[in-house]
Amino acid sequence: MTANFFRLAHWEWRRLLAERTGLVLTAVWCVLLAFAVHQGLMQTRARHAEIAAARTANVSSWAAKRAHLIEIEAGRAQPKAYRDPRSPTNSISDNPIVLEPAPLSALAAGPGDLAPAIRPAGMNTKVFLTPQSIDNPANRLAGPLDFNFVVAALLPLFVLAFGFDVLAREREARTMALLACQPVALGRIVAARFAVHFVLLGLPLAVSAALTVALSQAPAAPLAPALGELALWLALAAAYLVFWQALAAWANCHAWPAATNALVLSGAWLTAVLLIPTLVQTIVQAVAPPPDRRAFVLETRAIETDLFTRADAIRDAYYAENPARRPAVALNEYDTYFVGNLYPRSLAADAALAPTLDRLAAARAAQAAWWRGLAWLSPTLAFRLATEQLAGATPAQQGRLIEHARAFQQKWRAHFDLPLFSMRPLTLADYDGKPEPTPVRLTFSERSTAALPATLGLLAAAIFAAIAVRRTSVR
């Protein structure tokens, strides 16, 4: 039985070689995958380099200040104006809080590019503000030719190009009757042919995705967890491939001419890849519109202006509550502003802005919930959503970076606000005990839980399509 299956597959393989169309399609598919590999590696390497540069700059800056402090304490150096390592205003500088790229991030380079990997956090930093971007918006809008796009949008086209006439061509060549009277079920013949197409498309995909994931990991990162995640990603891609193959098989089960099959399947592709995502996007925009960013800007500014006009009262209230933090020495003009004026306002601003930020987060969450709910409408949407979530590239997951930056800011303030407010000179103990910024790592369970509904939707679509084909009799 198995030998029979392999013989059938072998004949399909020989046919593809003889026709050359299969070879051309496979070559084009491999070129596209090579582009995706390049794109994924380029993006993740740039991101790792950006993260490393930010960390190095931060570490070396603090190390230089510490070394200078040792020299001053030993009497071997003199402090310079505005460059005194003992000044508590050194604590105002920002620290880079990093979102470590997830193991599969190279496979979703496009979505990952839309959000920053680093957020600054310090005494007065507005951690909720997205850092400016100087990327070309035209590139951001189009998105790169990454794995996510190549598989979601282009793989179905290759499946359909290979399989649209898998039986229709027998009808058109009038060899269908001959085929039907062979001691092999027609379903088995179709399955063997699709199995060859599956290998032709799936094997280069698996190899290139594995290569991308292996080469894109951070130098010290263990490879084993990444390979486990890759297996899940490949399972999703396989389910997606099977869905489209089942659709092509279903079209071939009807006695339609090959051209009609091509039209029907192209229509299905258009619907799943372009029309339903556009429709869902339109629905989501209508029912859960994005937060009004301009209103957010004005609201933030109104709060800050109000706090500015009450700056003295806010500072006095703070000193009344925290008498130990009242400066022991007279402040110069610079320190008066940054210590006596700006920092108490930053604390008050964080409290006053909390409801606004909560509203923003709620609007984002509502949008994400609608997307999750409607992703079932198209296997393409389900695949994209699931893989983006596995890659940790959605705004909700990016929100973790803001939360982490905020938590770090609290620790930083707890460590430095006493010396800063009281203008006590920093000591080596302050330097050595300062909190170190730790990276945010989205665990696999976090990412897979977020991706679960879309994953289930995709698997259900593939299983449903396969069952539907099995139940359809060949005409």
Partner 1 sequence: MLWTIAKHELRKLRRDGRLRATAWLGLALFGGLVLLSWQTYRRELQERARFEATAREQWDHQGAKHPHRAAHFGFYLTKPELPLALFDSGLKPAAGQVLWLEAHQRSAFTHSPVEDAGAAAILGLTNGAEVLQLLGALLIVLTAYGSIARERDDGTLRLLLAQGVSPLRWFAGKCLGLAVALTALAAPVALGLLALCVAAQPGGFTADVAWRALALGAGHALYFSAWLAGAVAVSAWSRSARGALAALLALWIAGGVLAPRLASSLASSLAPVPTLAEFRSAQGKDFNQGFDGEPGWDDRLVALERSTLAKYGVKKIADVPLGFSGLRLQMMDAWSERIGDRHQQRLEGIYTAQTRWHLATAALGPFVAMRAFSQGLAGMDWPHYRHFAEAAEQYRRAVVASMNQLLERKLVGDKWEVSVSHEVWSRVPPFAYAMPHAAWALREAALPLALVAAWLVLALTLAWAGARRLSPL
Question: What gap in Å lies between CA 102 and CA 221, rounded to an integer?
Answer: 11
Instruction: Decide: is 321 part of the binding site for partner 1 (CB under 8 A).
Output: no
Cβ atoms of 146 and 36 closer than 8 Å:
yes
169 vs 188, beta carbon nearer partner 1? 169
Near partner 1 in 404-423, by CB under 8 A: none
Near partner 1 in 134-153, by CB under 8 A: 134-145, 149, 153
12 vs 165, beta carbon nearer partner 1? 165
103 vs 110, beta carbon nearer partner 1? 110
Instruction: Decide: is 459 part of the binding site for partner 1 (CB under 8 A).
Output: no
Q: Hey, what's the torsion of the CAs at 248, 197, 158, 41, to 10 degrees?
A: 140
Instruction: Decide: is 35 part of the binding site for partner 1 (CB under 8 A).
Output: yes
Q: Shortest distance, CB of residue 334 to partner 1, whole angstroms?
A: 8
Q: Candidates 327, 395, 425, 435: give the one binding partner 1 (CB under 8 A).
A: 395
192 vs 404, beta carbon nearer partner 1? 404
Q: Tokens 């085929």 correspond to what residue? A: 179
Near partner 1 in 36-55, by CB under 8 A: 38-39, 42, 46, 50, 53-54
Binding mask 154-173 for partner 1 (x = CB under 8 A): x--x----------------
Question: What gap in Å lies between CA 70 and CA 72, rounded to an integer?
Answer: 5
Instruction: Decide: is 338 part of the binding site for partner 1 (CB under 8 A).
Output: no
From residue 467, how far is each of 128, 162, 269, 460 by CA, in Å? 48, 21, 20, 10
Determine if residue 440 is left, alpha or beta; phi over 0 gives left, psi from -120 to 50 gives alpha, anything else beta.
Answer: beta
Near partner 1 in 372-391, by CB under 8 A: 381, 384, 388
**Stretches 241-249, 261-269, 320-328, 423-431: which one binds partner 1 (CB under 8 A)?**
261-269
Near partner 1 in 422-441, by CB under 8 A: none
Instruction: Decide: is 102 part of the binding site for partner 1 (CB under 8 A).
Output: no
Instruction: Decide: is 75 part of the binding site for partner 1 (CB under 8 A).
Output: no
Question: What gap in Å lies between CA 379 and CA 244, rounded to an integer?
Answer: 9
Q: Candidates 162, 371, 408, 444: give the one binding partner 1 (CB under 8 A).
A: 371
Which contacts of 176-180 are long-range, i.e. CB under 8 A and separated by 24 or more positions?
Answer: none
Q: Candidates 308, 313, 373, 410: give the one binding partner 1 (CB under 8 A).
A: 308
Instruction: Decide: is 275 part of the binding site for partner 1 (CB under 8 A).
Output: yes
Instruction: Decide: is 278 part of the binding site for partner 1 (CB under 8 A).
Output: yes
Instruction: Decide: is 292 part of the binding site for partner 1 (CB under 8 A).
Output: yes
Helices (H), 115-223: 137-142, 147-149, 155-163, 168-172, 176-180, 186-216
Neighbours of 260 (CB within 10 A): 14
Residue 280, both tokens: 């869902």
Instruction: Decide: is 352 part of the binding site for partner 1 (CB under 8 A).
Output: no
Instruction: Decide: is 110 part of the binding site for partner 1 (CB under 8 A).
Output: yes
Cβ atoms of 235 and 455 closer than 8 Å:
no
Sign of the alpha-carbon dihedral angle for 230, 236, 239, 244: negative
